[in-house]
Amino acid sequence: MISDFTFYLPVKILFGAGKFDMAGEEAANLGKKAFIVTGRRSAERSGLLARLTELLKRNNIEWAHFNGVAPNPTNIIVDTGAELARKEKCDFVIGLGGGSVIDTAKSIALSAKSTLPIWRHVAFWESDYVVPEDALPIMAIETLAGTGSESDNIAVLTNEKTGEKPGYTSPLLFPKVSIVDPELTVQVPAGMTAITGFDILCHTFEGYVSKISNPVSSVLNLKAIELVKEYLPAAVRDGKNMEARTNLAFANILAGFSLTHCRATLLHAMEHPVSGHFNVTHAEGLAALMPEWLKFSWAGNVEAFKAVGRIFGLPEDKNTAGSLIQRIKEFLKGIGLDVTLSGLGVNRDGFEEMAEESLRYMGGGVSNNPVIATKEQIVGLLNRSM
């Protein structure tokens, strides 16, 4: 019996090789002056920024450029960008880059319109939280296959002062149009390909076993897991493998769909405080935590975990938590992500505080997990991931 569900995704997605060339004509539907958000150097070094501005020029669109985005982007970065967007009188935002860039672009679009510091719209657990009411239109141009930010209504920011790193949601964060051109990902180095690709696996794996999975998302998530399992090692071995790059880019779109509808679970809820406080790469933190998360969560949705086990080649008589953990570890080793928290420079001193943060601002992920964890259990999971 198929259960009741609601499925809503108001994002226009242009997918395929060469679709980047449509950026100018699509931008012309959004406004007269673009605020282009990029990382610090990569868009300029790759020539993508120059290509984009030429496409805008051909369509009589003015632009201003903000290249202040760093990995694990902060509220201060967003506030700085939003102030510049207002000063330049830009009427829409283009995020050109990976997940951090697109999350920043989304947040700038929101803050530029509201004029409030972005944290007022992020920190829903604080008394001065303000529900956002409007945002500038957003175009996302994905150059990495990783976070699914081009197809979801979520952004992740770190508070520069406190180290808090929540994900926050709003219908205003859906891009109006997203361009997913697999050719733009060919230049991504092997290590970054592995990191971003594993994030796709986590988003869709968590979405599939989550408490709010639905019939549509289940189909999409299983397909995405299959694609990452098959094509991520190939893309890591050969970055010019267009079949692998295209399939990972498609899987990343599916991951965004999953995040919109299924959200993340305890795995992400534990990791955000890790990368928020220790500035480790998000997917490396996920890789370190996944074995213990899987063992802890298995009993809460055995059939869903077994479905993932089948994708990883486990026969029914050996489809157990231990066997799937071993297959995941082998997969991680094959893409260079066999890491531990201690190997990433994390220490145990802050585990109590980090567990509290998991419950405070990532509590939705904790409650969405197949098995709900207490603070003490989260501390134990962190310790066993060292």
Residues 303 and 171 grouped into a single domain: no
Residues 177 and 201 grouped into a single domain: no
pLDDT in tens, 239-266: 999 999 999 999 999 999 999 999 999 9
User: 317: Cβ–Cβ under 8 A, 6 or more apart, which residues?
Assistant: none
Residues 52 and 153 grouped into a single domain: yes
Residues 25 and 155 grouped into a single domain: yes
| Model confidence at 3: pLDDT above 80 | no
The answer to whether the CB of 107 falls within 8 A of the CB of 140 is: no
Residues 154 and 196 grouped into a single domain: no
- What dihedral do alpha carbons 333, 370, 207, 228 form, nearest 10°? 20
Q: If pLDDT is split at 50, 70 and 90, which confidence band does 2 have? A: confident
Residue 88 lies in a domain: yes
- Asked which of 185, 205, 231 is the last residue of a domain, the reply is 185
Residue 3 lies in a domain: no
> Residue 13's beta-bridge partner residues?
178
The answer to whether the CB of 221 falls within 8 A of the CB of 251 is: no
Tally of structural domains, the chain: 2
Compute the 3-state secondary structure of the chain and give helix, strand, coil in percent, each to the nearest 5: 60, 10, 30
pLDDT in tens, 297-342: 999 999 999 999 999 999 999 999 999 999 999 999 999 999 999 9
Mean pLDDT of 76-84: 97
Residues 217 and 120 grouped into a single domain: no
Residues 134 and 179 grouped into a single domain: yes
| Model confidence at 1: pLDDT above 70 | no
Residue 157 lies in a domain: yes
Residues 145 and 82 grouped into a single domain: yes
Residues 155 and 216 grouped into a single domain: no
User: 342: Cβ–Cβ under 8 A, 6 or more apart, which residues?
Assistant: 386
CA distances (Å), 41 to each of 14, 68, 97, 161, in order?
Answer: 25, 9, 11, 25
What pTM was computed for the model? 0.94
User: Which CATH number characterizes residue 31's domain?
Assistant: 3.40.50.1970
Q: What is the mean pLDDT of the chain?
A: 94
Residues 55 and 127 grouped into a single domain: yes
Residues 63 and 23 grouped into a single domain: yes
- Asked which of 185, 212, 227 is the last residue of a domain, the reply is 185
Residues 155 and 82 grouped into a single domain: yes
Residue 55 lies in a domain: yes
- Asked which of 140, 164, 185 is the last residue of a domain, the reply is 185
User: Which CATH number characterizes residue 206's domain?
Assistant: 1.20.1090.10
